Amino acid sequence: MAEITRLNDGSQEAPRLEIHQSWWAMAGLGEDGREWTIEEKFEEIAKAGFTGILGRLPSPEQSERWRRLLDEYDFKFGIHSFPFHRDDLETIIREAQNFGVDYINSQVADSFITDSKAVSLLRGLITAASEAKIPYFIETHRGRITQDLLRTVQYVHDVPEIQLTIDLSHYVVAGEMFLPSDQVES
């Protein structure tokens, strides 16, 4: 029987479920008209049973504070990225490694890149992350390279090493177009 290696993160650890809170979803949360502090948000995330956070790299002024809290709560930390090209991801990888990020999650732009160009871009991104030895995931998302199920299935066939973060809710609005707000009628 063939060993299934795509279910492992590359470590010696057995496959496990990590549940990470998206940091953007913590914006505005609090009590009595006051938003929670970063420390309070970490505490609430831990109380809810999450094992990590997916967010953006903290600003240089907040880096020490974030590192201290991530270590205190023993959270994994992944970052969002929105690369158009391999060079975009390589810059993000350097910053992520300097901070000590556990993984990178990408919404790859854009929805108009298809077929062999899309496959080439995906391979280039995956190769860049692999060379840097950082776990890397492509997120299914509207308005991105993975915006529709049919193309995404083809990418999985064409790029078997792809690892997906699947947001199924976006397939409900597959093909949605982003327009500048001044072009949208009220």
The predicted pLDDT at position 59 comes to 94
Query: Averaged over 17-39, what is the pLDDT?
Result: 94
Q: How far apart are CA 130 and CA 66, in angstroms?
A: 26
- pLDDT for res 4: 43
CATH class of 82-174: alpha beta
At residue 131, does pLDDT exceed 70? yes
Domain with CATH 3.30.750 in the chain: 82-174
Q: Which amino acid is at 167?
A: D
Tens digit of pLDDT for each residue in 134-172?
999 999 988 899 988 889 999 999 999 999 988 777 767
Q: What is the pLDDT of residues 77-125, one digit of tens each?
A: 999 999 999 999 999 999 999 999 999 999 998 888 899 999 999 999 9
Q: 63-70: long-range contacts (C-beta < 8 A, 24 or more apart)?
A: 63/99, 65/38, 66/38, 67/99, 67/100, 69/38, 69/39, 69/42
Q: What is the pTM of this model?
A: 0.83
Q: Which two tokens stand for residue 186?
A: 């009220």
- As a whole number of angstroms, the distance between CA 124 and CA 118 comes to 10
